[in-house]
Amino acid sequence: MRNSIDFSNKVVFVAGGTSGINLGVAEGFARAGARLAVLSRSQDKVDAAVEKLSAYGESAMGVAADVRDYEAVEDAFRKARTEAGPVDVLVSGAAGNFPARALDMSSNGFRAVVDIDLVGTYHVMRAGYDVLRKPGACVINISAPQAFVPAPLQSHVCAAKAGVDMLTRVLALEWGGAGVQVNSIVPGPIRDTEGMARLAPTESMQQAVANSVPLKRMGEKEDVASFALALASPLGAYVSGAVIPVDGGWSLTGFGEMMSQLADMIQQSKTG
Ligand code: NAP
Ligand code: COA
């Protein structure tokens, strides 16, 4: 029985790993003994995350880069390879979101989210592949329920994250022969995150979201982190090409209806 969740001597790279869910995932791996590398745009956020992650005992490093800039992403992986070693676990979670109807956003607004979430994930996977420790590496894309539940105010995110999950499946096929697992984790509504603050900005909206989850609570960052650890550990070694909700059952409920209610509430708060 392979039941070890110990990441000592392993290197974990988390794109978008300087706040929210992705930082929670990075902390989970750091707590389990891994060396961490994180990437995001803001140097201040990178510095703060590196300080937090190094406090768990192993080394941590970070690079300020935009996932839309392929060369910058490649440079970040080269730096991580040199300073920390070949990457055992690659998590791609950089993303952007704002609630807006398709008719209320510009072409540039739609493209900004698709470029960060989908093209950025391709950049991270493509450049990251070259520094993965093969065979045995595990790639985890952080998706969202919008990938398979159509939701008002989220046309850009729905389109981008559906693309992310298809990339997961295609690259699981292409990279399986090299011994690389590729999966998507689909968090549900996670408490105390930028994503939820944008989609459900008031206490009453957040309560409504929590009530709409079959398990009757929002998720915690630790809920996502512990599943990522299991997936990347020997316990998850035979899982590849899977798109796995960690959402308390939210995606079963067709939460698009919930988003319709939120859309009305957001609209009302703007007008009155
Ligand atoms: P968050 O704290 O805003 O995390 C986003 C991260 O990505 C930050 O570290 C941000 O740092 C980085 N980032 C954004 N744009 C970037 C770019 N162009 N290049 C490089 N890094 C970039 O948000 P979150 O709510 O925790 O969401 C994290 C992930 O979970 C996302 O993939 C999101 O789609 C997914 N998710 C969230 C929820 C939720 O309930 N919150 C639910 C389902 C899925 P910088 O600002 O420094 O770049
Ligand atoms: N409604 C409609 N359009 C909006 C918008 C909103 N609420 N917020 C931004 N946009 C549009 C902008 O107007 C701009 O379009 P324009 O040039 O035609 O005016 C376009 O989106 C890009 O905005 P900009 O601020 O230049 O992009 P950016 O690359 O600096 O930031 C975002 C990307 C917009 C996604 C920004 O919200 C971001 O950086 N988010 C990261 C954090 C996050 O979203 N966390 C939650 C993850 S789930």
CATH of the domain at 205: 3.40.50.720
In a domain, 5, yes or no: no
Domain carrying residue 155:
11-271
In a domain, 91, yes or no: yes
> What pairing do the DSSP bridges indicate for beta strands 11-15 and 89-92?
parallel
How many domains, the chain? Answer: 1
Q: Are 218 and 209 in contact (CB under 8 A)?
A: yes
In a domain, 46, yes or no: yes
Q: Specify the 3-state DSSP secondary structure of 61.
A: strand
Stated pTM of the model: 0.97
In a domain, 3, yes or no: no
Regarding the beta carbon of 195 and ligand 2, being less than 6 Å apart is answered yes
Query: What ligand is nearest to the CA atom of residue 21?
Result: 1
**What does the alpha-carbon distance between residue 118 and residue 123 come to, in Å, rounded to a whole number?**
9
In a domain, 255, yes or no: yes
Q: What is the pLDDT along the chain (272 residues), one digit of tens a residue?
A: 555 799 999 999 999 999 999 999 999 999 999 999 999 999 999 999 999 999 999 999 999 999 999 999 999 999 999 999 999 999 999 999 999 999 999 999 999 999 999 999 999 999 999 999 999 999 999 999 999 999 999 999 999 999 999 999 999 999 999 999 999 999 999 999 999 999 999 999 999 999 999 999 999 999 999 999 999 999 999 999 999 999 999 999 887 778 888 888 877 877 76
CA atoms within 13 A on the CB side of 121: 27
> Whose alpha carbon is nearest atom 38 of ligand 2?
96
Work out the burial of residue 28: count CB atoms within 10 Å of its CB; fewer than 13 is exposed, 13-18 middle, 19 or more buried: buried
Regarding the beta carbon of 257 and ligand 2, being less than 6 Å apart is answered no
Output the six-digit token pair for 119.
């093209």
Nearest-Å Rg of the Cα atoms of the chain is 18
**What does the alpha-carbon distance between residue 39 and residue 138 come to, in Å, rounded to a whole number?**
18
